[in-house]
Structure 1
Amino acid sequence: MDYRDRYGKKFIGLFKLPKEPADTLLEFPCDFPIKVMGKYADDFEALVTEIAERHVGVLPAGAVSSRPSSNRRFVAVTIVIRAQSKRQLDELYLELTSTEQVLMAL
């Protein structure tokens, strides 16, 4: 998969995803919430959902919620996924943060 930052620069060898590290504090599988923030757009929630579903499969009803900022300039989308491994989370975060519309993912 080709990952680029929001300026179009390609990630080449900067991020090497480890094999399954044993030093994680999480026990897998586990429910894991991810908050994704971006500029307000009608399709932002759908974009975040589409990216998440590429990594975890179809999200159940109620797994996605969104909240616009008070001035509607920004929106925060929260997704709760069933994470199977740290590697899966790393790959999901990498794709989310390399998407131009995403300002931040926590």
Structure 2
Amino acid sequence: MSMPPSSHETSQDDSLIVYPSLFPIKVMGLKVAGLVQTVTHIAAQFDPNFDATTVELRESKGGKYLGVTITITATSRAQLDEIYRTLSTHPMVKVVL
């Protein structure tokens, strides 16, 4: 006999994010030519209204790595999953948060 889920349980489709929503994504990679352009190009693929002027850059203490924060308009969980997957698998990218 199975019990119905209690009211405090959530399904996998439940989200704390309300769509559409501005959503920052931090991408880190080696500080090499083309990293920022690559990240912004990927962002624009997933958000046609992406504004590259909002990109924030932060260099590591030693100057070897660069943090690139992009802010996209998130429209769905599927969109976020796909942009994270695309960024994470790019050879120039080390970490996506």
Q: TM-score range by the shorter chain?
A: 0.7 to 0.9
* Aligned with 1:68 (options 31, 49, 59): 59
SS at match of 1:104: strand
| Alignment root-mean-square deviation, CA | 1.3
- Which residue is equivalent to 1:5? none
Q: Structure 2: any 5+ residue segments left out of the alignment? A: 1-11
Amino acid at match of 1:71: G
Alpha-carbon shift at residue 70 of structure 1 (Å): 2.0
Q: Which amino acid aligns with 2:82?
A: E
The normalised TM-score by structure 1 is 0.75
Distance 1:50 1:94 in 2: 15
Alpha-carbon displacement from aligned partner over 1:3-38 (angstroms, at most 9, x marks no partner)? xxxxxxxxxxxxxxxxxx631111100010000000
2:26 to 22, 35, 52: 35
C-alpha change, 1:61 and 1:37, in structure 2 (3 Å) is: closer
- The structure 2 residue matched to 1:88, chosen from 57, 60, 79, is 79
* CA deviation profile, 1:30-52 (whole Å, cap 9, x unmatched): 01000000011121111100111
User: Could you list the runs of 5+ residues in structure 1 that have no partner in the other structure?
Assistant: 1-20
Shift of 1:61: 4.9
Aligned equivalent of 1:97, options 88, 91, 96:
88
Number of residue equivalences: 86
Which of the two has higher C-alpha Rg? 2
Structure with greater helix percent: 2
